[in-house]
Amino acid sequence: MTETAYAKSRYRPPEIEHRYGPNVHLLDDPLAWTLLARLCANDTQQPDIGRLVRILYERLAHAVLAAELPRARLDVPTRMVTSAPQAAVVRTTSVAPHTRVVTVGIARAGTVPSQVVYELLNELLDPSCVRQDHLFMSRATDAQGRVTGSSWHDAKVGRDVDGRTVLFPDPMGATGTSMISALDHYTTRLDGTPARCIPIHLIVTPEYLRNVLQAHPQTAIYSLRVDRGLSAPTVLATVPGTHWPDERGLDDHQYIVPGAGGVGEIMNNAWV
């Protein structure tokens, strides 16, 4: 007889209730929320910053990859196979080992998160199917400090994206301008069409969700928290997304509130 209990996986990470639509996944993870609050605290510095970012992205990557990557049958003889050759075989569902994946490191804040995801992908999949790309971009602002777009400085990317799952592990989803620029690049300027594009964040704003989904409605967005701290008290008392046009998570300089400050700066101790 073949074990059937693990023939199928219905895994989905738990999510909080929201009204942003089916492509937004706001994870319900009190352990991660605790660590994220510590990361955001005013007195948290390096080396705690770097350690917390790695721990949080290890948890996020686990949830996202388990939910989004295709699955396959796995049969593995165990060390007991010599004494019980028919029974000592683990028969289970696994991540499909030949799934082709790209993780994109968006400098500066996304460099460490992408490396964490890249290392886990190489453990899970055939490493020949895994690639890490690097984008170097920054906010473009006007004289008043308002974000007007994103400026590209350099890119080290592979050309082929056809049928690949493309992951964008980037801690803060603020205005969406940089992410939209990255998604434009991967969906229109390279060879082929990605199977799926998935930004993976620690924090997003309602403005970010609206802007990214308007530009790329098929994108799946994962985040540990949505910050809408500048919304009216009556809005904050409702399920996120209920009054989406009235929700506000960005100040006049497009920084997230409550947020975590400039994560690229605090991760690198470089205030430029």
Q: What is the pLDDT along the chain (272 residues), one digit of tens a residue?
A: 678 999 999 999 999 999 999 999 999 999 999 999 999 999 999 999 999 999 999 999 999 999 999 999 999 999 999 999 889 999 999 999 999 999 999 988 999 999 999 999 999 999 999 999 999 876 656 665 565 555 665 578 899 999 999 999 999 999 999 999 999 999 999 999 999 999 999 999 999 999 999 999 999 999 999 999 999 999 999 999 999 999 999 999 899 999 998 888 888 887 66
Q: Where do the structural domains in the chain lie, given as residue ranges? A: 26-69+99-246
Instruction: Render pLDDT for 188-209 as a digit per residue (tens, 0 to 9).
Output: 999 999 999 999 999 999 999 9
**Phi, psi of 183, deg, nearest 5:** -65, -40
What is the structure's pLDDT at 263?
85
The whole-number pLDDT of residue 59 equals 97
Closest CA to 21 of 174, 219, 234, 224: 219
Please tell me whether the peptide bond between 258 and the residue prior to it is cis, using omega within 30 degrees of 0. yes
Cα angle 65-67-72, degrees, rounded to a multiple of 5: 85
Which of 65, 58, 74, 59 is CA-nearest to residue 8? 74
Q: How far does CA 213 lie from the centroid of its chain?
A: 15
The fold of 26-69+99-246 is Rossmann fold (3.40.50)
pLDDT in tens, 48-68: 999 999 999 999 999 999 999
- Residue 160 tokens read as 């082929």
**What does the alpha-carbon distance between residue 209 and residue 175 come to, in Å, rounded to a whole number?**
8
